[in-house]
Amino acid sequence: MNGSGVKRKTSAREKKAPEKPVEKGTEKIWRAMKVKRVFSCADIAALANASQTDVNGLFRAYKADGYIRNAGVKPSRTDRDCDPEKLFRLTVKGQNRARQPDAVSLKTDPLTGDAIELNRLVCSRQVIRDDNAAKEAIRICRRMITALNAEMER
């Protein structure tokens, strides 16, 4: 819809827009960080067409490795009750790395994937409405407990 509340007709060109080739690994993330001098996790996720969860995990690792540093906060524009977004910028070490990024595959940690799936089942209330969804949630919980116990034993 446009500003007057009337639906706008989608052109054939918009419908048939060619898909951009997906870059392997974290190359898009490094490129987005290089282009944007100050950025948030959400900014880079949107620019790199990646999940915010994956980008957030990478940011923790990049910060620990000295590739990015804090650059302040950006207040939320959508809801005044939301926490402000953390802003980051590349360090000199990060700028050097951004010039020659390697193709590291972006894989979601199995525990993270399970947590996301469990969250989807619970928050959508499927576990209450559907017995199969409830059984799947129980399987996920058991898998997570097993994985966490194995982590604790290391």
Digit-coded pLDDT (tens) for 36-95: 889 998 888 888 888 888 888 889 999 999 999 998 887 766 655 566 788 999 999 888
Q: Which residue has the higher pLDDT, 60 or 1?
A: 60
- Assess whether 50 and 69 both reside in one domain: yes
Residue 58 lies in a domain: yes
- Assess whether 94 and 120 both reside in one domain: no
- 135: domain range? 110-153
**Residues in CB range of 5: below 8 A, 6 or more apart:** none
**Does 138 score more than 90 pLDDT?**
yes
Residue 91 lies in a domain: yes
Residue 54: how many CB atoms within 10 A of its CB?
19
Measured CA to CA, the distance from residue 85 to residue 9 in angstroms comes to 35
Task: Kindly report the average pLDDT of the chain as a whole number.
Answer: 78
Mean pLDDT of 124-137: 92
Amino acid 108: pLDDT? 64
Nearest of 63, 57, 59 to residue 32 by alpha carbon: 59
- Assess whether 36 and 91 both reside in one domain: yes
- Assess whether 27 and 95 both reside in one domain: yes
Total domains in the chain come to: 2
